[in-house]
Chain A
Amino acid sequence: MTKAFTFLFIAALPFWLASCLDSECMEATEASVKVFFYDCDTVPALAVTPDSLTLYGVGNAVKIYDNQKITAPALLPLKESGGETEFIININGTADTVRFVYSGSLRLVSKECGYAMSYAIDTVCFTANEIDSITITNHDVTVQNTENIAIFY
């Protein structure tokens, strides 16, 4: 009996050591506004990505998309520190400004991935050069791949 118990006692050691190991982050953490583009001339409006899209944040010289054809959706990362973010969206050579007003909240993704922001869009303002209209389809901006904004052009 004592031998059996000693064996079981020692047998548990590797499992205990394995339980001490940290694992890697395997989840998506960055919540971006998911934008889909639609042709406003068709009824009903067809999802059509622009032939050329250039996109960057106002105050940031780094281009998110640089004169390229994308596969929908376009991902627009919001500023984590503030409640407003502006983007320049250049669709087929014509530029517009789109401003998001939102609130942000912090949440734990997991022990491995740490904390991340998620947002709730309040309003969207835009200039109407190439853009015809914008609809907020889902106010909650999370890591889920669901449409937040529909841009009709």
Chain B
Amino acid sequence: MTLLYRTQKILRYFISIIIVATVWGCRLQAQDTIMFPLKFRVGVELTGASRYFYEKEHAGLETFFSADISEKLAPTVIAGINDYTYLRYRDAGMMMYDFRVKGFYIKPGVDFNLLAPKKAGGKYSFGVGIRYGITGFSYSIPEINTENYWGRHQTSIPVNRAMAHYAEVTPAIRAEIMKNISLGWSVSLRKMISSGTGKDMQPVYLPGYGNGAKPISFALSYFIIWSIPHRVKSVIIHPEEEIIEENVDNSGNPPTPTYP
């Protein structure tokens, strides 16, 4: 009788512990995790696409694809095409050169979102991207004019094909302006690895890079992005963040308790 009583008592303890642990566990999960939507993203660069309407010599399209694999990390591919004619004049009477280039480029890389998952919420991003750029292009210079004591000299360079390589670091921000539609802009700092044309004939314009005569180029890009949620991930929030946000007011002091 005593043994049965003791066994029942032990069982009650075990069941109580299991119930308390389960409730506590649920409470922990509710407090310390958020559901973070992971998305595919497809975007179009706006300045390049719109440039053709006011500068007929410059036709280009740049697209952007990325897939969140976590709340911080998204493999990204930027791909684009460009057809550009650049005429440079010394003055009204003399055209210095007529540079023509056509090409495509692809830039695989990774984007890192530096915002806390709770703030980002799948809608905002403030981070940095790292990419490797490859451009395949053909260029020609149908007219080059130079002038010295002996007068004006005209020459040309026929169509050549080349492949250029460069690295790119891209700080960027993105914000969702309506459901699944975001706007973003990025600053691109590019470092030439090889222009593919030799040191004396670097391309005046290299698709995906900019001024190929410079070892470092700089560009700003504006994107409109369509997001497609593909998975929801449960992300654990660091407990200190919760405590800081809940218990500290703007002055940095704990709130004074008030009584009715």
Residues of A whose CB lies within 8 Å of any CB of B are 1-2, 5-6, 8-9, 12, 15-16, 19, 29-30, 32, 57, 60, 62, 64, 77-81, 85, 105-108, 110-112, 114-117
Q: Is the CB of A64 within 8 A of B146?
A: no
| A77 and B213 contact, CB distance less than 8 A | no
* Residue B88 interfacial (CB < 8 Å): yes
B173 at the interface (CB under 8 A from A): yes
Min CB distance B177 to A, Å, is 8
Name the contact of B150 in the complex, choosing from A16, A79, A115 (C-beta under 8 A).
Answer: A79
Contact A114 B200 (CB under 8 A): no
Contacts of B150 in A (CB 8 A): 57, 60, 77-81, 85
A83 → chain B closest CB, angstroms: 13
CA distance in complex: A78, B173 (Å): 54
- When C-beta atoms are compared, the residue in chain B nearest to A6 turns out to be B175
Which residues of chain B are near A64, meaning CB under 8 Å? 149
CB <8 Å contact, A8 and B173: yes
Q: Give every chain A residue within 8 A of B148 (Cβ-Cβ).
A: 30, 32, 77, 80
- In the bound complex, do residue A16 and residue B47 qualify as a contact, i.e. CB atoms below 8 Å apart? yes
Q: Main SS of the interface on chain A?
A: mixed
* Nearest CB in chain A to that of B141: its residue: A115
Cβ-Cβ contact count across A and B, 8 Å cutoff: 85
CA distance A52 to B200 in the complex (A): 39
Q: Which residues of A contact B92 (CB under 8 A)?
A: none
B171 to chain A, nearest CB (A): 11
**Chain A CB within 8 A of B155 CB:** yes
Cα separation A80 to B155 with both chains bound (whole Å): 10
Query: Is B209 interfacial (CB 8 A cutoff)?
Result: no
A114 touches B175 (CB 8 A): no
Query: Can you list 13 A-B contacts (CB < 8 A)?
Result: A8-B185, A9-B173, A12-B222, A57-B149, A57-B150, A77-B150, A80-B153, A106-B144, A106-B155, A107-B201, A111-B205, A112-B88, A116-B146
Footprint of A on B, CB under 8 Å?
Answer: 47, 86, 88, 90, 96-97, 119, 124, 141, 144, 146, 148-150, 153, 155, 157, 173-175, 177, 183, 185, 187, 200-202, 204-205, 211, 213, 218-220, 222
With A and B bound together, what is the CA distance between A62 and B96 in angstroms?
24
Write the nearest CB–CB distance from B192 to chain A, whole angstroms: 14
A98 shortest CB reach to chain B, Å: 15
Cross-chain contact B119 with A1 (CB below 8 angstroms): yes
Q: In angstroms, how far is the closest chain A Cβ from the Cβ of B36? A: 16
Given A2-B175, A5-B124, A5-B175, A110 contacting B213 (CB threshold 8 A): yes
CA of A131 to CA of B27 in the docked complex: distance in angstroms?
101
Residue numbers in A under 8 Å from B218 (CB-CB): 19
- Cα distance A105–B198 when bound, in Å? 13
The one of B124, B146, B220 that contacts A15, using a Cβ cutoff of 8 Å: B220
Assembled-state Cα–Cα distance A117/B153 (Å): 10
CB contact under 8 A between A114 and B144, given known A5-B173, A80-B150 = yes
Q: Are B175 and A107 in contact (CB under 8 A)?
A: no
**Residues in chain A near residue B144, CB distance under 8 A:** 106, 114-115
6 more contacts with CB within 8 A, not counting A105-B200, A111-B213, are A9-B173, A60-B150, A81-B150, A108-B213, A114-B144, A117-B146
Nearest-CB residue, chain A, relative to B199: A107
| B residues in contact with A60, CB < 8 Å | 149-150
Nearest CB on A from B155, distance (A): 7
CA distance A129 to B246 in the complex (A): 98
List residues of chain A with CB within 8 A of the CB of B187.
12, 15
Q: Which residues of the other chain, A, contact B175 by a CB distance below 8 angstroms?
A: 1-2, 5-6, 9
> B185 to nearest A CB, angstroms?
5
Q: Which one of B96, B149, B187, B218 has the highest number of Cβ atoms from chain A below 10 Å of its Cβ?
A: B149
CB <8 Å contact, B124 and A114: no
Report the minimal beta-carbon distance from B219 to chain A, rounded to whole angstroms. Answer: 7
